[in-house]
Chains A and B, each alone.
Chain A
Amino acid sequence: MTLALLIEQLLNGIQFGVMLFLMAAGLTLVFGVMGLINLAHGSLYMIGAFLCASVALATGSFWLGLAASLAGAAAAGAVVEIVVIRRLYDRDHLDQVLATFALILIFSEGTRWVFGSFPLYLDIPQALQGAVALPGGAQYPLYRLSIIIVGVLIAIGLYLLISRTRLGMRIRAGESDREMIGALGVDIRTLYTVVFALGAALAGFAGALVGAIQSVQVGMGEPVLILAFVVIVIGGIGSIKGALIGAILVGVVDTLGRILLPELFGLFMGPSQATSVGSALASMAIYILMAVILALKPQGLFAAGAQ
């Protein structure tokens, strides 16, 4: 394998990681502040993608679709928080898992009822078509490069939001002592709704971005959801920094594993057997990574005072 190809694959891994980060950030934020496991996070991702695709189809503009997905997912998140999630904060994790599992069923089937059984069409905007030349001669799709940049900008934005703004201060306070900030007169109900809607907006945004290069279909959120859980568990639940590093780690391990493991096994067994064994192992790689990390650090890499 040439160096240029290796760099390209590394970029692919990072880009995959950045997409996972957008999902994981909302998940970890919601968990950190409200102590809630939200399995339905993947449904918000799906809603974002469907909204973007249908608005883009109706108006012809991807950018309007993207805006709609942000706004729509945030609104859906706020509604879900007020109607359902609010009642789950003082329950144990078991009830949260079950209730949000039920939400997945509702969202998936509801979406299928509204949009039908066939996947929707969503293409990347004209301005981001094409590829750019990388140093070393390889070509890299402009859209994917943009995803990396947007993801990094959002990571910085979230960092600033949490460390520099009043909202962020409250979020941090909420993470460390839930009762206290209520006692200090912060409207905790609104704060929770805002945080949940923010997480939902990030998920919807990720769904729209990813929908343009993947398939916009019912159930698209579930595989990503499980990966996002792996990410936040590796990174340490509640930590945005952990989510970013965990996401990149998972993205890179998964991508390089897919490419390198079959070649590795090819060194000492037949090609078709090597592909078979290598790919099987590659599909398990991130789970093995997670098990190893948790066996060494049961709270993840950057535990943020999670219980």
Chain B
Amino acid sequence: MKKLIAASLVGLGLTVSATALAEPVKVGMITTLSGGGSGLGVDVRDGFLLAAKMAGNKDLEVIVEDDARKPDLAVQIADKMIQKEKVDVLTGIIWSNLAMAVVPSAVGQGVFYLSPNAGPSMLAGKGCHENYFNVAWQNDNLHEAMGGHANSAGFKKTFILAPNYPAGKDALTGFKRFYEGDVADELYTKLGQTDYAAEIAQIRASGADSVFFFLPGGMGIAFMKQYAQSGVDIPVMGPAFSFDQGILGAVGDAALGVKNSSQWSKDIDNPANKAFVEAFKAEYDRLPSLYASQGFDTANLILSAMKKADVKDADAFRAALKDAEFDSVRGDFKFDSNQHPIQDIYVREVVKEGDVLTNKIIGIGLEDRSSAYVEDCKL
């Protein structure tokens, strides 16, 4: 899908003249809009476009295209956007494997890449690049925060499971990096697995006092429903991915009371966030998700840099991005030397507001967390 957004058409156009640096910024967004996992891409896109609309800066031009979650298609679109559309900034990719396919060659060709979701360890450490910025998190972050939470909740014997692929292994490593108790058992499931009866039976038999899992997308929905039906009552926790707004409705009451970690929540108390949640509800008639907040922040980061520098002056624009002088909806936000965020990661609990399942913050998992790979990055 191609959407050319001339943001001034819909915005108020009052602040436009203040940004006298005339060169327009062309942003190419490659994201997953069709097939499995398209809900995430839709949210990132909607959040991003909302920010563009609210800013009303007509110098920001956005092209959106669907990668259908295929790495080779994403690479093709990236090449097209760089070579044909001559974009200055790329963004939008949801999945680590697609990011790994696109980012190294894209930043090599001189464009900026701002990640609104994926944060593979390679790009945070050895493979970091001056033109690569991550506006969401390093992949391990949310899991690390859950490890911190498990300590403060007093868990001593946690059963941990994740799918058998790199992000799954990173998740369990991240959890164990901060967790001080014992691991009851460590289980890797098949990627895309939908039946967890066997794993749940093992959890029941393990004598664990808590369960940590990372099962993104449909896997997590299936696991939570089956876990609730199994009658096992060991407390469950996990990163926000399985408990976020887009997915909670499908998990249903099975998710009630589950603790999950996230750098954002709709009840974070700051003006930027309040305005974002209200505007998102008004614009799209649903509650924003974590992914929408990340898309929103990404757009605002670009807008903030546009105010300070001309995108054709790459060094100045890079410095402006790095300053990150924008009001992030998650509150305090700054970049570490590897250009990944330093931010608080909260622990949320799934609650019901009227008929709608949503999250509320109950504490902080890790404060001012950067990433484990920052030492490996030579920036």
Contact = CB atoms under 8 A, between A and B. Distances in A.
Interface of A: 1-2, 5, 8-9, 12-13, 15-16, 19, 108-109, 112, 117-121, 123-124, 129-131, 138-139, 141, 143-144, 210, 212-220, 223, 255-256, 258-259, 262, 271-272, 275-276, 279-280, 282-283
Nearest to B35: A219
A215 B218 contact: yes
Given A5-B205, A123-B252, A213-B222, A223 B192 contact: yes
Contact of B250 (A2, A13, A120, A276): A120
B197 interface: yes
16 contacts: A2-B205, A12-B195, A12-B197, A117-B42, A119-B218, A123-B252, A123-B254, A124-B229, A131-B230, A131-B231, A214-B218, A217-B36, A217-B221, A258-B199, A279-B188, A280-B164
B222 A214 contact: yes
B198 A255 contact: yes
A275 B219 CA distance: 19
Given A121-B252, A123-B225, A255-B198, A275 B186 contact: yes
A9 B201 contact: yes
Contacts of B274: none
B108 interface: no
Contact of B246 (A2, A118, A255): A118
A258 B190 contact: yes
Contact of B249 (A19, A118, A259, A271): A118
Contacts of B231: 130-131, 139, 141
Nearest to B36: A219
Given A215-B218, A215-B225, A272-B186, 20 more contacts: A12-B197, A16-B197, A108-B35, A112-B35, A119-B218, A121-B251, A141-B230, A143-B229, A213-B195, A213-B226, A213-B229, A214-B194, A215-B194, A216-B250, A217-B218, A218-B35, A223-B194, A256-B198, A271-B186, A279-B188
Interface centre among B201, B222, B231 (most CB of A within 10 A): B201
Contacts, number: 133
B299 to A, nearest CB: 20
A179 B202 CA distance: 54
B189 interface: yes
A1 B33 CA distance: 45
Interface string B182-215: 0000111111101101110110110000000000
Nearest to B68: A109
Contacts of B24: none
Contacts of A109: 34
Given A112-B34, A139-B231, A280-B164, A214 B225 contact: yes
Contacts of B33: 117
A271 B183 CA distance: 12
A118 B39 contact: yes
A214 B194 CA distance: 6
Nearest to A216: B250
Contacts of A275: 186-188
B247 A279 contact: no
Nearest to B163: A279
Interface of B: 33-36, 38-39, 41-42, 164, 169, 186-192, 194-195, 197-199, 201-202, 204-205, 217-219, 221-222, 225-226, 229-231, 246-247, 249-254
Contacts of B42: 117
A13 B230 CA distance: 15
B102 to A, nearest CB: 21
B201 A12 contact: yes
A124 B222 CA distance: 12
Given A118-B39, A258-B190, A139 B230 contact: yes
A52 to B, nearest CB: 13
A121 B42 CA distance: 19
A255 B190 CA distance: 11
A283 B225 contact: no
A123 B222 CA distance: 11
Contact of B164 (A12, A141, A276): A276
A123 to B, nearest CB: 5
A19 B226 CA distance: 15
Contacts of B190: 258, 279, 282-283
B202 A259 contact: yes
A93 B204 CA distance: 47
Contacts of A9: 198, 201
Contacts of B204: 138-139
A1 B202 CA distance: 9
B91 to A, nearest CB: 19
B47 to A, nearest CB: 14
B108 to A, nearest CB: 32
A259 B201 CA distance: 10
Given A15-B197, A141-B230, A214-B222, A279 B189 contact: yes
B130 to A, nearest CB: 34
B201 A121 contact: no
A271 B187 CA distance: 10
A109 B201 CA distance: 36
Contacts of A8: 201
Contacts of A276: 164, 169, 188
B36 A218 contact: yes
Nearest to B202: A259
Contacts of A214: 194-195, 218, 221-222, 225-226
Contacts of B254: 123
A131 B201 CA distance: 13
A272 B219 CA distance: 22
B38 A112 contact: yes
A218 B250 CA distance: 13
Contacts of A131: 229-231
